[in-house]
Each structure stands twice: as C-alpha cells, then as structure tokens.
Chain A
C-alpha cells in the first residue's frame, strides 16, 4: 500500500510486520521516533503478542534484548550515536552468542564535541563486532531491508544492524510502498531459534572459552558472515518474488558498467551522487557509482567486479578513522589490492555537514583530472584549521579546540570571562 510517511514511522511499521515478540526501547535522537511508533502500535493493539519494554539505558536495551533473544523471542531494538557506544559490550556479546537480534542505528555523529546530526561513525565503530551491517539509501529500502534483516539474522543466528542516516532518512517524509502483512507472513516464518531453553537439556549460555577453543569460535563467526554473502542476495530475491521489489543485495550499481570514474559510498548520500552523475553524464563524462548495502560482511568479490574497468575510484564516506583515514576506503583498497587503480578517499558530511551537488561537482572535477589527494576532506574550512594550529603553536595552553573554533566562527561570544 502506498503511503506518505516519515522514515521512522515506516520502519516502525515494517518492524511490526515482522511480528517482533520483544522490543526494548530507550530514547536517543534521531532514532526515538521508531520505537515511539512501535509503542503506539502496541498501545493501539495493532502490534500484538509483543512485550514492549522501556529500559533505563542503551546498555540495558541490548542486554534485555540478549536475554529475550536467548529465550527464543524475536527481538528488536534501535539506537544511535552515544547509545551504540554505551552498549558496545553487549553488541559484542550478542554476536558472540549468536543471537539474531535486529537493531536499527539511526546514524549520528559521536561526541565529544557533542553533535546530534548525521554521519556514520557510530555504526562504523561497531563494524568488526560480528554483526551484519546493512546500509539503506532510501526509506523504502529501510522498510524492505528491516524485514529481510530478521530473516537473515535468524537463518544464520547472527545479529543484524540496519543503518539509516539520522534525520536525512529517519525524519524525512517519503512515499513508501508498505508490504501487506500476508506477504510478510509468507516471506518470514516464525523464529526457530538455534538454541532453545529446553528443560530436558538445560544449558548455560555464555560459557567461558579459553585458548583451546576461542580461535575456532571466532573463526566460525567469520564463516557465518561469509555465508551471509550468499544468503543476503538470496533473501533479497525471495523478498522480491513475494513483495515485487528488489531492495536488498550486497551492493547496487548505477551507470557503473562503462564508468571511468566510479564513486563508492553508502547510505542516503547515494541519492545526491546519482543526481550529480546524471548531470555529468549529460556532459559526456563516464561516471557511475556503487552503493554498498552490506558493509559487514564486506562484499569483496562484488566490489572487485564492479570496479574491474574503472580508471579511478572515489570512496566518499561519512565516517572517519582518526589517525588513518576512511574506514570504507580502507576496506575498498583491500578489496582492490590486486587491481592497479587509484582509490581516492573523501571524508564528507561529518556531524551533519551538508554534501551539496556543487561540492560534489568540484570534487568530481578534481577526481577526473586525477588531482585529488589520497585522503581529501570535502569542504574543509582550511582557514579555521590554520588559525587553530597557529594558536596551538603560540600557546601551549591554547584551550579546547572545539570551543576555540566556535569562538572563531562567531558561534559563541568572543570574550572569555
């Protein structure tokens, strides 16, 4: 059914279609609307047979989820930013125990300095925690991918994080084609847990594992992720057959076949990139893009194939590994280590800085001329940076960088008391 609705509400409805049995909720911007929407559905009776628990923190949210999932309940929660950092220990625990929890991350920057706006550093901080990570370009994708996430998670006994850009998707109103309950019931069977609470065979979960077996447990977690490389496209195909729309898969490409410049990114910015590609294609430039949907497992073979004929790769990402560069780019470079193609890394949109078409055109002009540095920061205000560096040179006790810059750009009063 076609509806005009907010991304968060659309995700809430999609999650409800998956018939979750336990939902753990704690408010954090920008995901709060999702769990609020689910709360409304529980209240109105639209979502039945679901234990909805408002908890005391994100750490509690995922810990409660671990308990309910271990007891065999289909479990959902959502978080963002500081919330995912706070629950980090439980994030590793859930995957280590093979519990197929589905969790939305409404992508938001991590502080300090505190910032509520969008980038993807939050979910990226957990990229190696053993969860499957799927990134959504649009709210329609978010709806479809959430439903698929339950199936992927439960088939593999691995938790899945569905990542969607905070505000840009969570708070945007778009037209959504919501699947029917009967379709989802056909697509997603009831949860049949790999480990169950069986009175005839009581087990202790979370056993201590020493050096004699730890490597094997970890290796098998990796094997499960490798299995996901096959399962994710299969599930997308099954979903498409029932719902009539292809929204999943490991990657998607746009005008990539003959592209000399290939842009790789993930999340909602792909929409802007496609618009810019269309404009440049009209000028005759051979440019296309690849959207990474599954960041974990990382689709090495698909990336290699998509990049096989490109003359240059531009990886544009809204996350940043301080002291190294891009997190996505380093994965792409690893995938392309046998292909002699330059990979330019562009860090963009941190803390909600808009990624405009103009900036992308300027960037792609430089890329086409192979004038980009290996690591480039889109729209970095060099003047502000230089002023702060100069201050640090002159004064050993120059104070907090964040507050200094806010004063420089006039965001707070210039005078110090």
Chain B
C-alpha cells in the first residue's frame, strides 16, 4: 500500500518526529477537573508519538458518555457513534481498512451494559482492535447513576436506591472467557505508567482490552483513593488462559500491568494481501 504524505515525512530521517502534542486537536475537553480521562488522553497521545503513527493511519471509535468524547480531542480519525455500538462499528472499519490502527474508546456503561453483547462477540471474534475502557464505575454524563461495575453497596447512584445489590461485572474475566487476546489494566491517574502498556496493547495482534481505572471524583469522591491504592501486578503476563483465569478471578481490580497476552491468530480477512480485489470477488456473479 502506498504511504500517505505524513508517513513519507515520518520515514524521512530529516523530518522531526511527531510529538504527543501533534496528536491533540484544539478542542478543549469537557471533562471535570480530576477526571481520570484527562490522563488517558495524555497517555494515548504519548503512546501514538512513541509509535510514530501517522494521524491519518489511526481511527478512534467511541460510543456515548464522558469518555466517548475522546475522538474529538485527538487529531486522528474519529468516530462518535451510537451508545454501546463502538465495537461493532470498529469491527466494520477494521475489516474494510486493515491498514488502519483502530482504537476503540468508551466507558463502563457504554461497553458493559448497553453494549455488553458486542463486547462478548468482539472478544470472541478477535479482530485486531484495542479497546480502551475508562471505567469509573458509574454513568457520569447523565450525572451519577450506577453502572455494571459499581460496587453493590454504592448508595449514591441515583437510579439504585440502597445500592445495586448485585455483583459487579468483571470485564477482565469476561474478556478472557470470551476470547480476548490481550488483557491489561492501567490507571488514568498515571499517564506515564499507562504508555508502555497501551503501546503493547496496540502492537499485540487481535483484540486487546485495556481496562482503565479512571476515577470520577465528581460523582464518587472515594475514587480519589484509587491513585494510592493501585499497584503494579506482582507477576508477569501469562499466555496460559488457565493461569490467567485464576489470576483474574482473584484479582481485586487494583493490579496494573499486562495480565494476559494470548497467541490466538486475529480474525482478519485481508483481501488485498491475498491479491483478491472486490472486482475479482464480483467476477463470478457477472451476467
């Protein structure tokens, strides 16, 4: 495939490298002060700069919610889609344009409740996507309702009188069971710590889930403590789903790092690499 102008420039030794700033648009984030999503935006721009990806070779797809505003703040391609459908949309994008690095971003409400079914099947399908879920354990944009990851006794949720009373959703376990090829956790309060993990997630083939602890101190002030509570995972990543399952099932949601790195081949119908064009496919149907 021919290189874009930016790619050619980047390939040129004399050209100055892309910096994190180059990936930021001039749109100011609407997020509250103290929101973990600021850290994710910073980490993401730094990661893209490390990868030296031309902005036009990166697509960021999101759904609805505070964190789903992120495409507007990036200078890459962006797609702000329908609530809960970002993974399905991104799948369509990636299979038709395998040359794009496709990042999917959103929150726990968007990804695990209204979009929960797509999450299962995106893991299962294992298309080469990196799914960055900014989990604040609540719905922030609609002003503080419980989400699937809320603690059962969180009483401040405005649609759950007395707390949800039900088990929180465990996205990492579900991702592993559904076939995700890479599972990691980072903290939105530590952008620099998130960069190498995001980089690894993007570079790893197949479906990568990056679970971000992204505090919402507007609607759950206790999340201020996350910054102090998180720690690097005590063990290295494993490629053994059995070991990973045990690790994730006993995980207390505070271990940061790459937790599972599988070796399943990604789903990728790359027609072009097989030398097949749309015209070739249509040929037998010509009348």
Contacts and interface: CB of A to CB of B under 8 A. Distances in A.
A29 B144 CA distance: 12
Interface in B156-199: 157-162, 164
Contact of B84 (A57, A111, A412, A413): A57
A57 B161 contact: no
A42 interface: yes
Nearest to B84: A57
Given A54-B164, A82-B82, A417-B75, A27 B114 contact: no
B55 A52 contact: no
A51 B103 CA distance: 40
Contacts of B21: none
Given A27-B159, A39-B161, A417-B75, A412 B82 contact: no
B159 A43 contact: no
A89 interface: no
Interface in A32-70: 32, 35-36, 39-40, 42-43, 52, 54, 56-58
Interface in B53-99: 55, 64, 75, 80, 82-84
Contacts of A1: none
Contacts of B143: 27, 32
Contact of A54 (B55, B116, B157): B157
Contacts of A58: 114
Nearest to A57: B114
B164 A56 contact: no
B145 interface: yes
A36 B26 contact: no
Nearest to B83: A82
B202 interface: no
Interface in B99-151: 113-114, 116, 139, 141-143, 145-146, 148
Given A39-B158, A57-B84, A57-B113, A412 B27 contact: yes
Contacts of A86: 83, 114
A231 B142 CA distance: 37
B30 to A, nearest CB: 13
Contact of A56 (B25, B82, B114, B161): B114
A239 B247 CA distance: 62
B82 A54 contact: no
Contacts of B164: 54
Contacts of A52: 161
A114 interface: yes
A29 B143 CA distance: 10
A43 B116 contact: no
Contacts of B162: 43
Contacts of A105: none
A54 B64 CA distance: 19
A32 B158 CA distance: 9
Interface in A110-136: 111, 114
B139 A40 contact: no
Contacts of B80: 114
Contacts of B157: 54
A173 B64 CA distance: 28
A195 to B, nearest CB: 29
Interface string A152-191: 0000000000000000000000000000000000000000
A253 B213 CA distance: 56
A167 to B, nearest CB: 14
Contact of B159 (A29, A54, A82, A114): A54
A54 B114 contact: no
Contacts of B84: 57
B161 A40 contact: yes
B159 A25 contact: yes
A363 interface: no
B142 A43 contact: no
Interface string A349-373: 0000000000000000000000000
Contacts of B141: 29
B131 to A, nearest CB: 18
Interface in B2-30: 25-27
A267 B147 CA distance: 33
Given A54-B146, A114-B80, A27 B139 contact: yes
Given A57-B84, A82-B82, A413 B161 contact: no
A27 to B, nearest CB: 4
Contacts of B116: 56
Contact of A39 (B75, B114, B139, B159): B159
Interface of A: 25-29, 32, 35-36, 39-40, 42-43, 52, 54, 56-58, 82, 86, 111, 114, 412-413, 417
Minimum-distance CB pairs A-B, first 3 = A43-B161, A27-B142, A56-B113
Given A43-B162, A82-B83, 11 more contacts: A26-B114, A29-B141, A32-B159, A39-B158, A39-B159, A39-B161, A40-B158, A54-B160, A56-B116, A413-B26, A417-B55
20 contacts: A26-B114, A26-B159, A27-B142, A27-B143, A27-B145, A32-B142, A36-B145, A39-B158, A39-B159, A54-B160, A56-B114, A57-B84, A57-B113, A57-B114, A82-B83, A114-B80, A412-B27, A413-B25, A413-B26, A417-B25
